[in-house]
A and B are shown apart, each in its own frame.
Chain A
Amino acid sequence: MKKNLKGMSILIVDDDPDLRELLSWDFSSAEGEVESAESGVSAIELIRKKKFDLIFSDMRMPQGDGRFLAKEVLKLKKNEKPLFFLYSGFNDISSQEAKDLGITHIFSKPSKISDIIDDILKFI
């Protein structure tokens, strides 16, 4: 198992600017190369330009939510598909739907970020 996110390109998606900034900071601290987007729609623009290894996305956002983003990611070619993590405070998505959408794992919001990163490392 990897000790950190070194060498991984990461996309953080959250509509709340404070949370987006804090998450970016934590993922950067774990040595990931972090970019961020404020909505599903703007995340897609970034995904089209660049291949990410990992996406960590909020569920409820005004412009394209987590489900919308997951569906778009599902359309990518197999070798371009990043790991997809959803951060959701509500039972918006059933485990079956998560599987169908190719979602790697759903993290319950709120959770300690260090725990989240530890868990993410298990999937890499």
Chain B
Amino acid sequence: MKKAPLHPQELDRLMALNNLQIMDSISEREFDELTLIASEICNTPIALISLIDEKRQWFKSKVGLSANETPKDLAFCAHAILQNDIFMVNDATKDERFFDNPLVTDEPYIQFYAGAPILDPNSNLPIGTLCVIDNKPRKLTQKQLEALKGLSNQVYKLLELRLKVSSLTRANQKLLFQKTAFDHMSEGVVLQDKMGNIIDYNPAALKVLGVSAERLNGKTSNNFDWNCIRENGSIFPAEEHPSMVALRSGQFVSNVIMGIQLPSEKTRWISITSTPLFLDNGPSPSHSVTTFADISQQRIAQQALFQNAKMTSLGEMAGGIAHEINTPLAIIISAAGQALNALSGDAPKLEMACGKLNKIDATAVRISKIVRGLRLFSHDSEGDPLEETSMKQIIMDSLALCAEKYKYSGIKLEVNISDNIQVLVVPTQISQVILNLLNNAFDALEKYEEKWVKITLAKKDHLAQLKITDSGKGIPKDLQTKIMQPFFTTKEVGKGTGLGLSISKGLIESFKGHLYYDDSSENTCFIVELPLFEKTE
């Protein structure tokens, strides 16, 4: 007996067979019909669809045979898959390769064999045969051979169909999964065509926006019938909508904050991210997919934290402020008493009374500055409009609040501020940043002998540059990146919220400015840069 040699691409062939996931599968009528036809046409008692793996041939379909599989070493089909055409053995008892094969000498006593290779639809490598077998020597007519070949081709087509069905089923399952995810995700998703027309959206889109389907269908970002606003309350122009920007620029636009105003409803705040799609492979986007989440609750929590952090620093300053106001009040009371004395009696001393009244007047101005700083700092600035403001004014108002604290602690304040530096900001928020930096400097200087803080303000290109430097010896490199993170603090428990710098940075960036630590300075130096407000004539 001669064993069939291995197929020249045996490994690939085995992999191809494995990929079909057909070995040991249940019987299928379509395959059984083909073996039945083959046995009828060739007039043989046995017809098989035999698939050959590493060790065995397994019968996907069989007529006239009880075994499900036989060892590969004995298989006629192992020879058949080595050639392109039909492999035929007219009388196995007289063939040196098969005469002593147990399948010939014993059940089922094979004498005649004809097998047409079955190719794998993906690789076109032979994975088995459609074969007919008889227990007496025979021949097949040309027509029978052609029919057998045709049938083996039908097996190929069935395998191909089977593959397509399974890949379609997989794709369908994936689609179903994606559709379920699309329908149940909490973020709103909107698909738009290149003109910005809305072509699809998920249920969350309606929920997050708070509108009915009728109000979204057939719309573009240009003609929503609700108001869109920016964080500072100004109108959000339709052409600036993230999806329109993504469609126009082809760029990914992320985390844009927008307020949605519907009649008789509180403003909803959403964070929008829009991705351009190039489905037609053209140079400009064909579609956009935009996702958005409701961040209203986060904003409320954030504002509470924000206000809380502000109140904490206000508390830190309160002692200084009380004293700052008490001293001028004591002056006013004292001077008023003396003025009254000067005016009473027979000879009123007008000139002296006048001097005291002037003192009262000047001192009252001193108090009003502090109150002004306090008001600037403490009021809830949510929704405040941007104002064209003098940086000098903001700095001076802020300093009024902590000058006393600084003086009492022996910290020398050196202020060097240029006039005529105008910025477009919410003044309260800038004041908060300045006081936060001054409070940090104050806390840091506790441990130093030499105590001073320098405040300089100057124009630098198109920026207003405010530098707050203290006599501290700088911040270690490993802390420099951490200090801007929320909740990071080096202060002792109960002293700092760890939010000061991160909130300050956020505030300055909301005015298109920067807040950063200057690591080129010998001392501890923070720099705030804001765009200059320059009137365009």
Contacts and interface: CB of A to CB of B under 8 A. Distances in A.
B335 interface: yes
A18 B359 contact: yes
B333 A110 contact: yes
Contact of A22 (B322, B329, B338): B338
A4 B327 CA distance: 25
Interface size class of B (residues with CB under 8 A): 20 to 34
A19 B359 CA distance: 10
Contacts of B338: 22, 25-26, 29
Prevailing SS type, chain B contact patch: helix
A18 B408 contact: no
B322 A110 contact: no
B412 to A, nearest CB: 10
B410 A110 contact: no
B249 interface: no
Interface of A: 15-16, 18-19, 22-23, 25-26, 29, 60-63, 65, 87, 89-90, 109-114
Contact of A19 (B331, B341, B409, B410): B331
A89 B322 CA distance: 7
Contacts of B404: 60
A25 B334 CA distance: 9
B359 A60 contact: no
Contacts of B326: 89-90, 109-110
B334 A62 contact: no
A112 B330 CA distance: 8
Given A61-B408, A63-B410, A114 B363 contact: no
Q: Which of B326, B341, B359 counts the most A-chain CB atoms under 10 A from its CB?
A: B326
Contacts of A90: 319, 322-323, 326
B45 interface: no
Interface string B320-352: 001101110111111101100100000000000
A89 B323 contact: yes
B262 to A, nearest CB: 50
B179 interface: no
Closest 9 CB pairs between A and B? A89-B326, A110-B330, A22-B334, A110-B329, A109-B326, A60-B408, A19-B331, A18-B331, A110-B333
Contacts of A65: 408
B407 interface: yes
